[in-house]
Every structure is written in C-alpha cells, then in structure tokens.
Amino acid sequence: MTVTTAGWAAALDNSRRRTLAYTDLDDDELLRQHSPLMSPLVWDLAHVGNYEELWLVRALTGADPMLPGIDDLYDAFRHPRTDRPALPLLSPARARAYLADVRARALDTFGTLDARGALAPPDVAPASPAVAPGQTTRDRAGTLLSGGFVYGMVVQHEHQHDETMLATLQLRAGAPVVDEGAPPPPGRSVSGGDEVLVPAGEFVMGTSADPSAYDNERPAHRVTLPDFWIGRLPVSNRAHLAFIEDGGYDDERLWSPAGWAWRCREGLTAPLFWRPDGAGGWVRRRFGRDEPLPLDEPVQHVCWYEAQAHARWAGRRLPTEAEWEKACAFDPATGRSRRFPWGDQAPAPEHANLGHRSARPAPLGAYPAGASPCGAEQLIGDVWEWTSSDFSAYPGFVAFPYREYSEVFYQAPTGASGAGTSQGATGTEIGTGIEREFHGYKVLRGGSWATDPSAVRATFRNWDHPIRRQIFAGFRLARTGA
C-alpha cells in the first residue's frame, strides 16, 4: 500500500474536486449561514486551504504565513460556528485563489518527500509518531512525512469537511443543488437471522502500523470481550417507524434522563427531515426534495438519544465501540484484525456505499461482498453508526501531530461528561460549551455514503455530541450473551 507522489497528487486532486463541486454556488449561498449549527460554506472552503498551508507548506518548510491573519480567521477553536458569518472572511473568489496558491506550493514539497525516500510501506511507519521537544523543522518534517502521514492527514481532513458541507447542504432550504449520483445497488433479504454472534475472546483494537491512522486510532492494543450478538444490518427506516408507531417517542421509560430532557425540550417525534404525508405515511426531505420514506434503507438523521431509546424498546442496546470494531475487523481464522470487513483491500464499489457515489444510504442487503467474518454487513459506508462509547484515549495514546485533532475532545477519565474541562470546548462545534458540558461526545463508526473511501477504515473513530442529527448517522443493535 505504498503511495507514490503521483498517488498523493491524485488523492489531493480528488478531495479538491469534491470541495469545489460542493461550493460551486452563488456567493450569497456561500456567505449565508444555512443553519446555526454549521459554518457558512465559504468558511469551510478557505479553512481546508489554511489547513493544507499549515501542514503541507509551513510545517514542512518553515515558511511564513501566505496571508496576514489567515490562521486566526480559520482556526475552529477561536471562532465557534455561530460566530463565523460575522468574521471578515475571504470572498469566495479570493478563497478559491488562495486554495490554488496553497496547492501549488504543497505540490512543490513532493521534492522533499522523494529526496528523503519517506514514502515507506506501512510496517516502516513509526508505531506512534511523536515530536520530541527541540526538533528542528527538518526533523519534524521527516516525522510528518513518514509513510506519507501528513499527506493522508490533509486529504482526510478535506474529505471530512466535504462531508460536513454536505450536511450543511442537507439543512439548506431551496431548490436542490446536490448531485444525486448513481442509484445504489438493490437490497436483498438476508438469511440466517437478524443478529450474528461474535464469540468471546481477545482481538486487537486500533492500529500501530497503518500510516493513514490518526493518533486516536493508536496504539494497537488487545481487548477481550465476552460473547455478544450484533445486528447483521443497520436498523432500517421500517424498524424505526415501528418504534414511532409503538409510541417510542412518548415513552419516558425507554429514554435516558438526559435523552428524555432533550426529547422534551426539542419536541422530538421522528428523525430529522421526516414528516407525516397526511395520508398515514411518511415523507423525508433529502437535499431539497420530498420523497416517500424508503422503508428498507438504514435510518439516518437520528441522534444518539433516539438510537438509545430505540435499542431499549427493541430489548437491545447499542454496541460499544470495541464490539463494533471486533464485529467489523476480527477474523477468527487468522486471529488478526482486517483493515476492512472484507479484508485489507481498499473499498471497491461492490464492498460499500462510500464517497457520495449515491446521495443516500443503500437498501439493506445491498453489499453481500462487504460482509465481515462474523457475517455482519454494511458496517462500512451507508450511515455512521452510533456506539454506546464516550470518546476517550486508548491506553498508550500520544497526541500527534497536534492536540486539537483528538485529545482536547476526550472525555475526562473520571466523572460525568467532561464537565469542568473548558479546554477545546468549542472545537469545530457551536461554541457555547453547553453541548460538551451537558452531553459530551459519543463515538461513531464505519463512515457514511458521504465519506470518502480514503477517510474510513475499521479502526477509524468519529465523534459528536449525542444530540446531533444533521450528520449522516444511524445505528445497529447489540446484546450480551451467546
């Protein structure tokens, strides 16, 4: 899986084409805040350029900032999303020009990369790359370049913001502007039961060898789990409709206290973007179009609290992230963990619904070739899956290459919900700090239809507040026992 400089250039070009497609809109559309939860699209646009400047130009060469004040404007920690429309942001035209300038300079650094022979295969990548105090720019560049790490980080970052921009476009009112893509493959009815057994035992969670892995996926460590069952497929719209029709949104006993308080405050009665069609059925809005609710698709746009209540109603629970990863990656035949459910090969179209090939989740059963060794399907792609786990550090975690990617979002090791930790309370999220103080962060796994194949793997960890519904997230069920 050694990536060449031509490979990185192509990967950078792919994420950029996507960014430019999602921002190919009138200036007014780019400058407006479509939802208080989201940045104006023009902020995301210049932010991905600034991130690339910081990591592919300045960290590697020691160069000065390309524009005065640029780092402050696009620092997610300095300006919460609610405040971003009022900032003196680059105009759309200037932002596009800035991105092009940064890209030209970033491609120049390939000379350094080639000269150092730094594109090492994965097993040569440092186990937990760390920057020693007193390192020179040159030493630091060597560490960042090892295994092509910094290129993968920048490519993934841009794809993450591309997915965030899609969530903004889903919240946007008005005539559709998002490419519908190709229809997903057809579903199929699966045999062998709704749940699959994952026998008790040890597996390796996380990775120390994958050069594309973020610090929070490291290091690899052994985890022993008892027997558990996990849903063969994600929970469908049909099943969630049954939860609604059985009064699940009105039954306090099914909800956690925080979840019930949130449900009452917000008046939650169904997933975001659903509404009754007036004739006993439901429609959902998807990128500005109303359509009949497709019953055999994984449910999306539910928050963690809704997922948890549904699971309790079904006599199940959400999987922990360790359970999710074991069901996704562990191969009992070899005793090792795979990079993807189907093996170590990069995702192909028959494996998973990724990369906005379709602008929607695929129906249940659409990816038999993507099954994991235990028989679970659609773990990668379609919808992010809420797990029961708080976002926290693996044993032996070392922040790399900066604390603000993961570490500042970790839950306090003891006590409730990180209350009292003010650090990073704004993150890339809206900035009152209330979300973090009251709700913390829950881990999501597996990527969605909007996630690029280069930005997800069995070990990848995403996180968000358990109240969030605009992300492309659903869930699957689990239970302990054999």
**Residues near ligand AVJ (CB under 6 A):** 157, 160, 164, 405, 427-428, 462-463
Least separation, in Å, of the C-beta of 204 and ligand AVJ?
Answer: 23
Bridge-based pairing of strands 195-198 and 228-231 is antiparallel
**Helical spans, DSSP H, in 314-441:** 321-329, 434
Residue at 86: amino acid letter: A
Whichever of 84 and 157 has its CB closer to ligand AVJ, that residue is 157
Whichever of 271 and 427 has its CB closer to ligand AVJ, that residue is 427
Whichever of 184 and 446 has its CB closer to ligand AVJ, that residue is 446
Residue 52: which of 166, 156, 178 has the closest Cα?
156
Q: Is 164 labeled as ligand-binding? A: no
Residues 234/299, Cβ–Cβ less than 8 Å: yes
Whichever of 215 and 296 has its CB closer to ligand AVJ, that residue is 215
Whichever of 164 and 353 has its CB closer to ligand AVJ, that residue is 164
Q: Is 161 labeled as ligand-binding? A: yes
Specify which residues 330 forms β-bridges with.
Answer: 337
**Helical spans, DSSP H, in 297-432:** 304-313, 321-329
Least separation, in Å, of the C-beta of 401 and ligand AVJ?
Answer: 12
Least separation, in Å, of the C-beta of 368 and ligand AVJ?
Answer: 29
Question: Residue 165 burial (CB < 10 Å; 0-12/13-18/19+)?
Answer: buried
Q: Is 468 labeled as ligand-binding? A: yes
Whichever of 52 and 377 has its CB closer to ligand AVJ, that residue is 52
Question: Residue 375 burial (CB < 10 Å; 0-12/13-18/19+)?
Answer: middle
Question: What's the token pair of residue 139?
Answer: 């030493």
Least separation, in Å, of the C-beta of 479 and ligand AVJ?
Answer: 28
Least separation, in Å, of the C-beta of 164 and ligand AVJ?
Answer: 6
- Which residue's CB atom is positioned nearest to ligand AVJ? 428
Specify which residues 229 forms β-bridges with.
Answer: 197, 479
Residue 341 makes CB contacts below 8 A (sequence gap 6+) with 328, 329, 351, 370, 371, 372, 373, 376, 377, 379, 380, 458
Least separation, in Å, of the C-beta of 445 and ligand AVJ?
Answer: 12
Q: How far apart are CA 427 and CA 429, in angstroms?
A: 5
Least separation, in Å, of the C-beta of 55 and ligand AVJ?
Answer: 11
Whichever of 274 and 463 has its CB closer to ligand AVJ, that residue is 463
Q: Is 157 labeled as ligand-binding? A: yes
Least separation, in Å, of the C-beta of 47 and ligand AVJ?
Answer: 8
DSSP 56-78: IIIHHH-PPPSSTTHHHHT-TTT
Sign of the torsion formed by the C-alpha atoms of 227, 236, 34 and 46: positive
Whichever of 29 and 429 has its CB closer to ligand AVJ, that residue is 429
HSE-CB of 253 using CA atoms within 13 angstroms: 4
Residue at 100: amino acid letter: A
Q: Which residues are annotated as a binding site for gamma-L-glutamyl-L-cysteine?
A: 81-84, 464, 468
Q: Which residues are annotated as a binding site for Fe cation?
A: 47, 157, 161
Q: Which residues are annotated as a binding site?
A: 47, 81-84, 157, 161, 464, 468
